[in-house]
């Protein structure tokens, strides 16, 4: 105010000069300029190289919201009401150095998991190290980060450890197996079917019950199992096997009962049912594990569903390997599961319907195998 008073005194030094009302209408001082400049600088944004990840996220979120609002507003003016334009992503860079990608659509978890698994497999098959993949990600921003690939690889290893337990055996130590231990399978039907399967191969002179040429009646081999266009019939003749042991591939010894024609040998339908139902059930468990659904909740639901269909069933964890095991079902219990287990309790409905149809078809096949009136055309 001293400056103002001095200015007023100088202007009114003459006696006839008078002022009326407010006489201070403007003031321009260097100190005011300095103050204004400091306040202006206080609102200046930092360079991007001096900012952290939280600031990056805040800026990108603000830009993303603004662009989305503008997009929604403009599309109303440019597109028909029946059209549904969707903003999926926006990508921009700062100083050609920092690249930002804003995704508006929620990722499909299953597709994302499949993509990560495919990339992990490609890296393993090509022996591509982690550092090389990081450098590739720096060039191609749309690739999943190396950390995500590493986590998926760990999950794959855990799943494989459950599906294929591996035990390290020290051959220098004495075996811990009790040689006097008896087999704990007391189901006579299972024991008999195993004996029948091995016995049939021995009686017919097969090299092995699981050899490449496995069929007692025709010349099919394992590589032709999926060929449904060819009709296989009883083509082997016992007389030719007797004349020449290796006349047909897979036969290495003279048959024990060469007086019985091959069309009098029949398959063991019970053995087929036991083996295939085991495989069908293990595939369901494997699918739950693959999608990360094999948890305490799923195991509880399975046990409750087994109780509903009158089947005794339990899960337990092996402490050494941390893998899960479950009750080995007997013949009648396997049939109950095959017929009555509600797959929609543990699988998506669409997937459950597909698997249930497969189970029903196999059960129908099993019944036809037991029926004496079934003809070859039925298959």
Distance (Å, whole) CA 150 – CA 46: 34
Residue 258 has pLDDT above 80, yes or no: no
- Whole-number pLDDT of residue 17: 58
- Whole-number pLDDT of residue 89: 82
User: For residue 102, what are the β-bridge partners?
Assistant: 90
Tens digits of residue pLDDT in 74-128: 888 888 888 888 888 888 888 877 777 777 766 667 777 878 888 888 888 777 8
Residue showing tokens 């016995």: 199
- Whole-number pLDDT of residue 204: 65
Tokens of 134: 């990081």
Residue 192 confidence class, pLDDT cut points 50, 70, 90: low
Tens digits of residue pLDDT in 332-372: 899 999 999 999 999 999 999 999 999 999 999 888 888 87
- Whole-number pLDDT of residue 181: 47
Residue 54 confidence class, pLDDT cut points 50, 70, 90: confident
Between 152 and 179, residue with greater pLDDT: 152
Residue showing tokens 């206080």: 42
The pLDDT > 70 percentage for the chain reads: 74
- Whole-number pLDDT of residue 224: 78
Tokens of 273: 């049912």
**CB atoms < 10 A from the CB of 369, how many?**
17
DSSP 193: H
Between 208 and 308, residue with greater pLDDT: 308
Residue 38 has pLDDT above 60, yes or no: yes
Between 231 and 325, residue with greater pLDDT: 325
- Whole-number pLDDT of residue 307: 94
Between 295 and 161, residue with greater pLDDT: 295
- Whole-number pLDDT of residue 189: 52
* Through-space distance between the first and last CA atoms of the chain, rounded to whole angstroms: 111
User: For residue 93, what are the β-bridge partners?
Assistant: 99
- Whole-number pLDDT of residue 288: 92
Q: What is the DSSP string of 323-366?
A: EEEE----HHHHHHHHHH--GGGTS-HHHHHHHHHHHHHHHHHH
The pLDDT > 90 percentage for the chain reads: 16
Residue 230 has pLDDT above 70, yes or no: yes
Between 276 and 14, residue with greater pLDDT: 276
- Whole-number pLDDT of residue 178: 47
Residue 24 confidence class, pLDDT cut points 50, 70, 90: low
Per-range mean pLDDT, top range of 43-57, 74-88, 225-239, 285-299:
285-299
What are the residue boundaries of the structural domains of the chain, listed by start? 2-42, 116-170, 188-266, 270-377
What is the arithmetic mean of pLDDT over 187-207? 57
Tens digits of residue pLDDT in 268-282: 777 788 888 988 999
């Amino acid at each position: 105010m001293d400056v103002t008073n001095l200015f007023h005194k100088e202007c009114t030094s003459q006696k006839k000069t008078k002022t009326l009302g407010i006489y201070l209408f403007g003031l321009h001082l260097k100190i005011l300029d300095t103050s204004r400049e400091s306040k202006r600088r206080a609102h200046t944004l930092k360079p991007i190289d001096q900012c952290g990840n939280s600031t990056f996220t805040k800026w990108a979120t603000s830009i993303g919201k603004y662009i989305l609002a503008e997009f929604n507003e403009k599309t109303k003016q440019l597109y028909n009401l029946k059209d549904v334009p969707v903003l999926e992503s926006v990508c921009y860079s700062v100083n050609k150095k920092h690249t930002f990608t804003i995704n508006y659509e929620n990722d499909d978890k299953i597709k994302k998991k499949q993509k990560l698994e495919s990339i992990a497999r490609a890296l393993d098959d090509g022996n591509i190290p982690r550092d090389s993949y990081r450098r590739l990600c720096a060039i191609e921003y749309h690739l999943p980060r190396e950390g995500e690939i590493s986590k998926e690889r760990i999950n794959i290893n855990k799943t494989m450890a459950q599906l294929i337990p591996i035990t390290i055996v020290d051959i220098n130590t004495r075996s811990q197996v009790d040689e006097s231990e008896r087999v704990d399978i007391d189901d006579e039907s299972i024991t008999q079917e195993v004996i029948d399967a091995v016995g049939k191969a021995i009686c017919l002179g097969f090299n092995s019950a699981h050899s490449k040429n496995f069929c007692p009646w025709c010349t099919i081999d394992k590589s032709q199992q999926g060929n449904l266009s060819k009709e296989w019939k009883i083509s082997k003749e016992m007389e030719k096997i007797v004349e020449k042991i290796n006349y047909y591939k897979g036969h290495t010894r003279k048959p024990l009962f060469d007086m019985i024609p091959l069309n009098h040998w029949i398959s063991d339908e019970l053995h087929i049912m036991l083996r295939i139902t085991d495989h069908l059930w293990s595939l369901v468990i494997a699918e739950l594990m693959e999608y990360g659904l094999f948890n305490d909740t799923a195991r509880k639901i399975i046990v409750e569903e087994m109780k509903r269909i009158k089947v005794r069933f339990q899960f337990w964890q092996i402490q050494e390997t941390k893998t899960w095991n479950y009750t080995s079902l007997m013949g009648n219990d396997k049939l109950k599961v095959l017929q009555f287990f509600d797959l929609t309790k543990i699988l998506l409905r669409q997937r459950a319907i597909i698997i249930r149809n497969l189970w029903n078809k196999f059960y129908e096949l099993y019944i036809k195998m037991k029926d004496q009136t079934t003809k070859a055309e039925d298959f």
